[in-house]
Structure 1
Amino acid sequence: MHTEPRDAGGPVFDTAFQAKLELLFRWRRDVRRFRRDALPAGAVDALLAIADAAPSVGLSQPWRFVTIDDSARRDAICADFAACNAAALAGQDEARAALYARLKLAGLEQAPVHIAVFVEPDPSQGHGLGRQTMPESVAYSAVIAIHTLWLAARAKGIGLGWVSILDPARIAHIAGVPDGWRFVGYLCLGYPESDADMPELAREGWEAPRRTPILRR
């Protein structure tokens, strides 16, 4: 039997909003092709403020965002990507190598905004709650913050690309972050050149989206 959700004192999101939210989920893309236009003043700070609303273990908010604006640092990160990408290409089998070589796996040179995301593994905030048996939940929290940022950006027409083909130690050194911070991901933000209803890796034939199986016990 279908029942309407009860008003527990907070906002009630109607079916029209729910449909729009599902559309947002389905049109979120890992963007690799950006226009070079700058984002509006204050846009990045506003998006990062939304990311701070993400859930975190023990309310620790362990994510650390570092904007990379210096051109020399950006060049160093691009060089690291090129080296790591070449190594990844060399590791592909013959059947996949040609396809891998033509994939566009980063928008580092075009994206106007670069953000390196780190996690502080043992922040004082949160007083250790919820991470005694699963300390990795701190990093999981940072990933949720990235996803929150990703959806917020997409809702504003801003694309985000997550670059993972990088050397974590090298990126931490380039970004000049405190010892102990762990690299989680490198984000490129900007207006996408175009939108597509299918992920680029699916369009290129690298992999097909699918429903993950659900185990019912």
Structure 2
Amino acid sequence: TVQAQSIMFLPFLALLLIHEGTAQTFQYIQPLINEYRKQVANGQAWKRGGVLPSSLNMFELEYSPELEVYASVNTVGCKSANFYPPGGSLNYYMLYGLPEKYDNNTVVPVALATWMEHVLHNEIDDQVTYSDPNLEMFANMVYYKATQVGCSYKKCSESQPPLHVLACVFDSAPQMNEQLYKVSGTGKGCKSDSDCSNVFNGAVCGPEGLCGR
């Protein structure tokens, strides 16, 4: 299949992107997303009209070099190729008009804030049912079964003003009309390892309410 062939070419793509100077490692983005997932898990994140319910088994994301390659493909030429692994999902952000001195240190926080604020402007019910396509970027960020992420940023100076893009690829994708995560009635995240191992065998509950594998 095309998807299978794409996976086979990942090592080649990584070498090509690094050679062309388009691939950059942005592992610092992972803890930023995890911090937001921790807030969601512990009932501390806002939504339109109130606070998002806490999550029983939200997983902490690990950084994936493989997913970073996928993300890098989506930043080549500052045009999304809509390229991600089977079962995965893609978040994409682009911004024109920034001064030449602006870089990823400016664009990344703006991109993450933009993805997070989608839930402030669009309705979601108390069971966090994913029913609005406008929530896609937010939904990808907080989907409880996601365990890995890889990101890439690129500035394209060929356009004037320059165009900046950020792509993050997750290893899982939420489904429309299904819950983004299992709601906890305690107002906190996971309480025991069993909360997490019910999703993935051997998973454990971490000290800050997020599950780990």
Bigger relative contact order (CA 8 A; separation at least 6):
1
Normalised to the residue count of structure 1, the TM-score between the two structures is 0.32
Higher strand share: 2
- Larger of the two Rg values belongs to structure: 1
